[in-house]
Amino acid sequence: MTTKTQTNDKAIEKPNRRTVLDFIKQQPLGFIGIVMIIVMFLAAVFAPYVAPYNPEDVDFMASPALGGGQPSIEHPLGADAFGRDILSRLIYGARTALSIGFFSAFFGCSLGAVIGTTSAFFGGKIDLLIQRFIDLMLSFPIVVLAIVVIAIFPKTVMFGIDVNVIVAIAIPFIPKTARVIRSQALAIVTLPYVDAARANGFSAKRIIFRHVLPNVTAPFLIMMTAFIGQAILLEASLSYLGLGVVEPTPSWGLMLSGVNSDYYRTAPWMILYPGVAVSVAVFSFNLFGDSLRDWLDPKLKL
């Protein structure tokens, strides 16, 4: 009898143990997405060893203006309007895309999670005021809001990263995250252990950060993963408009704009490869984010 009971207990506990192998078996598309993300990450980290040239080196003889620039042995993906190697700039551009994408998504989602949890915990007038402010932020298109932030804040560069661009991209993510996290936290704040923490005299800060926020980790990770892809696309859009990363920093958005865009007929490789890089990066994070949602959300398994 005891053996049978232990077996049943193990059978009940087994589905709750999730490993990387389980994710690969259940979400093969998500595994493909994370493999592509790892490849981009490794390329960004080891860019000095992988890239054939310095991304800022200029070879005037390889410029299309002088009849060069075509894909060749020296330049496998061709050269841009200034004679710079496109493959090298793509590899180094992964650093810009991933760093800005990760930090903007992390800060935007983290602040949004705190605001959403606080709104759900206190309720009443505080919740009403916070939600109306979130509605106001959501009424602005994400690109317009990012442009306004860039225009207001002074340009600041730290560790080679444009902080201004990160803040501009992170702010539009705050209301979206706050709305989703609030809906999850509303169910958590009514649970008995939260009532017990209140009865024991724990402060609101301790309850929010130690008892509520840890229980909204799953939607937080899902949204952050999806927002990294959106941040990469938004950074490329802002750089294309001349509001994001500036020359000579390698950026996929910059490679699509400026003088390179004038050669879209005679030298299409200049805008083709950066466009493919942005598309693959966004697709990879969206693929991984959707798979992570399906894997972590038990309601989708019914």
Q: What is the pLDDT of residues 45-99, one digit of tens each?
A: 998 998 888 888 887 777 776 666 677 888 888 888 788 888 889 999 898 889 8
pLDDT tens for each residue of 213-233? 888 888 888 888 889 988 998
Among 223, 226, 255, residue whose Cα is nearest residue 113: 223
pLDDT > 70: what percent of the chain? Answer: 85
pTM over 0.85: no
What is the domain partition of the chain in residue ranges? 22-301
For the 22-301 domain, the top CATH level (class) is mainly alpha
Q: What separation in angstroms does the CA of 252 have from each of 21, 181, 249?
A: 34, 32, 10
